[in-house]
Amino acid sequence: MKKLKLGTSDLQVGEISLGCMRINQLSKQDAEYVIRNAMEVGVDLFDHADIYGDGKSEEIFADAIDMNSSIREKMIIQTKCGIRDGLFDFSKEHILSSVDGSLERLKTDYIDILLLHRPDALMEPEEVAEAFTKLKESGKVRHFGVSNQNPMQIELLKRYLKDDLIINQLQLSLMFTPMIDAGLNVNMQHDPSIVRDNGILDYSRLNDMTIQAWSPFQYGMFKGVFVGNEDFPELNAKLQEIAEKKGVTDSAVAVAWILRHPAKIQPVVGTMNPGRLTEIAKASEIELSREEWYELYRAAGNKLP
Cα 274 to Cα 271: distance, rounded to the nearest angstrom = 8
Handedness of CA 232, 274, 66, 9 (dihedral sign): negative
- Given the residues 52, 203, 219, 297, select the one marked as catalytic: 52
Spatial CA neighbour of 135 closest among 176, 93, 175? 93
Torsion of CA 134, 137, 142, 146, to 10 degrees: 30
52 is catalytic: yes
Cα 80 to Cα 98: distance, rounded to the nearest angstrom = 9
Which residues contact residue 70 at a Cβ distance below 8 angstroms, ignoring those fewer than 6 apart? none
E-state strands within 93-199? 111-116, 141-147, 165-171
| Main-chain dihedrals φ then ψ at residue 259, nearest 5 degrees | -65, -25
Q: Inter-axis angle of helices 233-246 and 290-299, to 10 degrees?
A: 150
Spatial contact of 25 and 34, defined as CB atoms under 8 Å apart: no
Q: Is 82 left (phi over 0), alpha (psi -120 to 50) or beta?
A: left
Pairing of strands 76-81, 111-116: parallel
| Segment (H or E) for 47 | strand 45-47
Burial (CB < 10 A; 0-12, 13-18, 19+), residue 101, is: middle
Spatial CA neighbour of 81 closest among 71, 69, 72, 91? 91
Catalytic annotation, residues: 52
